[in-house]
Chains A and B, each alone.
Chain A
């Protein structure tokens, strides 16, 4: 799986958009970008994933650059409950026999 680089921490004011960047310059053509988040002392929660087109769901939007070497997770209106560690992971789908490996992620702190 390609390596990802994320900032260690970010701050965001409540109600504002939170933009979390991720660099994955060695991504392969068949690898997807996945985002998970982990609220303190809970299991990680899937947020969104994409291959090359931008994606949006009820939780967030994922913007992937045209060269696919970086992406941004956008929480359009951050709330205090969005305070968590956000993980960006790159891997191919249906990669049998292997499991997701989590890095250190970005700690997002949302304050009022």
Chain B
């Protein structure tokens, strides 16, 4: 148990669906992150939030929309995804950006 909880653990969605991934951290951290890991590929950084403001967006398509309503919660809203978006989506938090990361268990997403 890392103190970072992601739901759902698994998600199957069609290309026309809208879904959201949720991340919650109980560590009192001020920075939160979304990473994507496709099969047999390194982790790719998607978004970084620091003190609830987005500070990094690594050229992610607009069909992925992050939201950070407070320092404990992070969402990733998904719409009109493509099959190549199927991947493990990982949330992480840290005390401040650049500090040690604590990861959740991830959401395994399959887009049909």
* Beta-carbon contact of A91 and B45 below 8 Å: no
Smallest beta-carbon distance B40→chain A, Å: 10
Docked CA distance A99–B91 (Å): 12
- Given A43-B90, A104-B42, A96 and B96 contact (CB-CB distance below 8 Å): yes
From B48, B102, B104, contact of A46 by CB (8 A):
B102
- Given A41-B106, A99-B33, A94 and B42 contact (CB-CB distance below 8 Å): no
A112 within 8 A of B: no
Name the prevailing secondary structure of the B interface residues: strand
* Beta-carbon contact of B97 and A95 below 8 Å: yes
Looking at A34, A99, A105, the one whose CB has the most chain B CB atoms below 10 A away is A99
* Beta-carbon contact of B45 and A43 below 8 Å: no
A92 within 8 A of B: yes
For chain B, the count of residues having a C-beta within 8 Å of the partner chain is 28
* Beta-carbon contact of B42 and A105 below 8 Å: yes
What residues on B are CB-neighbors of A94 within 8 Å? 96, 98-99
* Beta-carbon contact of B42 and A41 below 8 Å: no
A85's closest neighbor in chain B, by CB? B42
Docked CA distance A45–B106 (Å): 12
Name the prevailing secondary structure of the A interface residues: loop
Docked CA distance A101–B48 (Å): 12
A57 within 8 A of B: no
B48's closest neighbor in chain A, by CB? A99
B101 within 8 A of A: yes
Smallest beta-carbon distance A5→chain B, Å: 14
What residues on B are CB-neighbors of A97 within 8 Å? 48, 50, 55-56, 97-98
B92 within 8 A of A: yes
* Contacts A43-B90, A43-B92, A98-B48 supplied; 20 other A-B pairs, CB < 8 Å: A36-B101, A41-B106, A41-B108, A43-B2, A44-B101, A45-B2, A45-B103, A49-B100, A91-B98, A92-B98, A93-B99, A94-B96, A95-B98, A96-B50, A97-B50, A98-B56, A99-B31, A99-B33, A99-B98, A99-B101
